[in-house]
Amino acid sequence: MGSHRNCYQCAYQSSQVLTFIEKGRPLRNLRGMQIARYSSCIRFYSADNSMNFLTSISSSMPLHWWVALIISALGIAAICLRAFETEDSRTRRAEQTKKKELRSLAEKISSYGRTVHQRYPSGDVIVSELDLAEQLRKRPDAVATALNLLLNEQKVQRATLSGYWKLNV
């Protein structure tokens, strides 16, 4: 009788037909009742379908699939942004990345100087560019650039020997 799942009007009209059959009443108007049942059911089901479409999809999929779907969509969006990026924006992004890496390296050098000074508080901290590059596992030219950045901020001074720096702690 009620052929649509979760259709309350079908269930109600089906119960009316069963009541007629149980009471032994004549079913002269059964055909009209069936037509009314299907037409109201279609109207109700289409409204239910349009209003609760997303709810039914979200409740039918497990949570881990939703998480995977969202992560995939974000990944695809990031790839599309990179793929359709202009040359100017690529250049700007590369410059900003280089500046961030340089700033990070300068902070590591300052932190290294403070650590050495805490370990040996009586003297100055003098480092070689090459030793510092080896210690921080960075290229010597990147270390020299970071030291020059710190020189502009007056956090380091050039030592009398070439390639050596005094860290102001």
CA dihedral 24→28→32→38, nearest 10 degrees, is 30
pTM assigned to the model: 0.54
In percent, how much of the chain has pLDDT > 70?
A: 67
In a domain, 87, yes or no: no
In a domain, 162, yes or no: yes
Q: Between 42 and 125, whose confidence is greater?
A: 125
Q: Between 4 and 85, whose confidence is greater?
A: 85
Strands in 164-167's sheet, in edge-to-edge order, are: 125-128, 164-167, 156-158
In a domain, 3, yes or no: yes
The residue to which tokens 């793929």 are assigned:
83
In a domain, 14, yes or no: yes
Q: Between 39 and 103, whose confidence is greater?
A: 103
Least confident of 56-60, 100-104, 137-141, 151-155: 56-60
In a domain, 1, yes or no: yes
Contacts with 154 (C-beta within 8 Å, 6 or more apart), sequence order: 168
In a domain, 85, yes or no: no
pLDDT band with cut points at 50, 70 and 90 for residue 110: very high
Q: Which DSSP category does 25 fall into?
A: -
Do 101 and 162 share a domain, yes or no? yes
In a domain, 144, yes or no: yes
Q: Which domain holds residue 158?
A: 97-167
**pLDDT score recorded for residue 33:** 52
The residue to which tokens 């009471």 are assigned:
23
pLDDT band with cut points at 50, 70 and 90 for residue 61: confident
Question: Of 51, 73, 88, which residue sits at a domain end?
Answer: 51
In the predicted model, what is the mean pLDDT of the chain?
A: 78
pLDDT band with cut points at 50, 70 and 90 for residue 82: confident
Instruction: Identify whether the C-beta of residue 25 lies closer than 8 Å to the C-beta of residue 17.
Output: no
CATH code, 152: 1.10.10.10
In percent, how much of the chain has pLDDT > 90?
A: 42
* Predicted confidence (pLDDT) at residue 24 exceeds the cutoff of 90: no
Q: Between 9 and 137, whose confidence is greater?
A: 137
* Predicted confidence (pLDDT) at residue 9 exceeds the cutoff of 80: no
- The count of structural domains within the chain is 2
In a domain, 58, yes or no: no
What is the pLDDT averaged over residues 105-117?
Answer: 92
Helices and strands counted in the chain (H then E): 7, 3
